[in-house]
Amino acid sequence: MTRTVSLGMYDPGSGSVDRLWADLRVRLLAAGFNDLPEGLDAGQGLEAAWLDENLLLAQTCGYPLRRLLDGKVRYVGTPVYAVEGTEGPNYRSALVVRADDSAERLEDLRGRRAAYNAVHSQSGYNTFREAVSAYAENGRFFSETFATGSHVASLLSVIDGRADIAAIDPVTLQIQPKDVRDAIKVIGWTAAAPGLPFITVLTTSDSDLVKLQAALADFFGGAARKDHPEFHFAGFEVLPDEAYDTILAMEQRAIDRSYPRLA
């Protein structure tokens, strides 16, 4: 049966993800992995792919890794990106407002409107909530918060004035068209956490996991950096099991400050 692969967390457009998969597929075949799809199924939802019993490889987010997928998948490793806001396998979210907004610090946004991509997002919600929790009063800071469905939609909601601020993943921000980046300004960065991990099905054997990690380390540390510069790859690391507990600690800090939700 054909294995499931999902690489849709970052998409610079113009067929970049398909070309990335075509090159990675060659390397996985050489490593001994068979029944690989010729192309990626863009219609399959992320959560469906993450929990697919035939999953070979998918990229997820650190928050669902700990909250939704814990005990249901195996962690493979974490790609490293070279953009502002990243340091090794860790990343921070950019706090963005419109380019002409007078706000210069997060504190200046009290009583205004915030957009976020989804409540299960580390970069767009969990780390944003933790940052805001330091300034919230009686569980509130903003006049309104709303979900947009994606980082790109959050950016556009800030640009068109429906929101005043959003927390944006730094890789997503870097791969946006110049006119989008020119329309916003970064007023700060959230705390750091491990980046978006790769996962595989829980039944993957130890030996296959090691082969998969070796193939990805070779690819993201070499060919992907040179042949797919639009993704800004800079390597691949296998982090300790407890590394992603940082994300749960962020959530707990917000709760301890009586700020359990972005509000």
For residue 107, CA distances in Å to 132, 142, 189, 231 come to 8, 11, 13, 32
Q: Which residues of the chain have pLDDT under 50?
A: none
State the distance between the two ends of the chain, measured CA to CA, in whole angstroms: 46
Are 29 and 250 a contacting pair, CB within 8 Å?
A: no
User: Which of helix, strand or coil describes residue 261?
Assistant: coil
- In the chain, the domains with their CATH numbers are 4-83+194-245 (3.40.190.10), 90-192+249-256 (3.40.190.10)
Are 226 and 233 a contacting pair, CB within 8 Å?
A: no
pLDDT of residue 141: 98
pLDDT of residue 111: 98
For residue 141, CA distances in Å to 39, 145, 192 come to 45, 10, 22
pLDDT of residue 1: 87
pLDDT of residue 114: 99
User: Which of helix, strand or coil describes residue 25?
Assistant: helix
pLDDT of residue 209: 98
pLDDT digits (tens, 9 = 90+) for 96-105: 999 999 999 9
Are 145 and 116 a contacting pair, CB within 8 Å?
A: yes
Interior/surface letters 185-206, b for 16+ CB within 10 angstroms, e for the rest: bbbbbbebbbbbbbbbbeebee
pLDDT of residue 44: 81
Structure-block tokens of residue 62:
């650190």
pLDDT of residue 251: 98
